[in-house]
Chains A and B, each alone.
Chain A
Amino acid sequence: MNFWETITGSDITREWKAFETRAATLPDDYRVAWEQIKGHLLPRADFTGRNLMPILDAAMGLLEQAAADGQRVGEVLGDDIAGFAAALAGGEGARTYRDRWREQLNRNVARRLSRLGG
């Protein structure tokens, strides 16, 4: 039995359906990443998945925006989806991952600003 079938409660089911509708509008590579993120996060959920909803919502928001900006999915998530998912959920390993996001942010800004200055 997969996770989806264990879900009870119609409000939760509706929320899941809304996620799938949003996912369907994403480019292919983003949809693959979304499936991977879900795959890493769902084993962490309690039996309703309720406490993961906001985290999934934030992840979906990030994907939607990056896709709208025309970025490649790898640019946004890096190549370690498992680490990315762990960091989204907090807990073990999240701190080092957030440090990596921090460095990535400053590096990206420095690189793109220097390109701008010519």
Chain B
Amino acid sequence: MSIHDIIEGKKQWRAHLARVKALPPDYRIVYKEMQKYLFKVGPVDLPDGPLLPGIVDFFEEGVAAGKGVVELIGTDVAAFCDGLIEGSPTYADLYQESLSEKPGTAER
């Protein structure tokens, strides 16, 4: 990764955080807790994939429709998160897979 990519990435990330900051408090609270959970679970495309910006898109629509965040996604936020990443491999999955590969067939 070049320096330029890193800076670009940061700029995009800052823009993303600015959108989060502009959400109403209830949405912001839920978003932040979700993000923490998602980073721990670690789906592979999380850092630069469409998932997190997509959540903000979805939340902004909810705000525009005059809904509270609980009305939009319910109280089981964990179930919502798991629904978002269902079928996406996590880093842990890939790691476990790499362990179960036969010696000699693994990458280097």
Contact = CB atoms under 8 A, between A and B. Distances in A.
Interface in B82-97: 82, 90-96
Contacts of B35: 65
Most chain B CB atoms below 10 A, which of A55, A94, A105: A105
Q: Give the size range of A's interface with the partner.
A: 35 or more
Given A61-B47, A62-B39, A90-B96, A55 B29 contact: no
B42 A55 contact: yes
Contacts of B77: 105-106, 109
Q: Give the size range of B's interface with the partner.
A: 35 or more
A101 B95 contact: no
Contact of A50 (B25, B44, B108): B108
A87 B93 contact: no
A98 B41 contact: yes
A46 B106 contact: yes
Interface of B: 25-26, 29-30, 32-37, 39-42, 44, 46-47, 69-70, 75-78, 81-82, 90-96, 98-99, 106-108
Interface of A: 9, 46, 48, 50-52, 54-55, 57-58, 61-62, 65-66, 69, 76, 84, 87-91, 94, 98, 101-106, 108-110, 112-113, 116
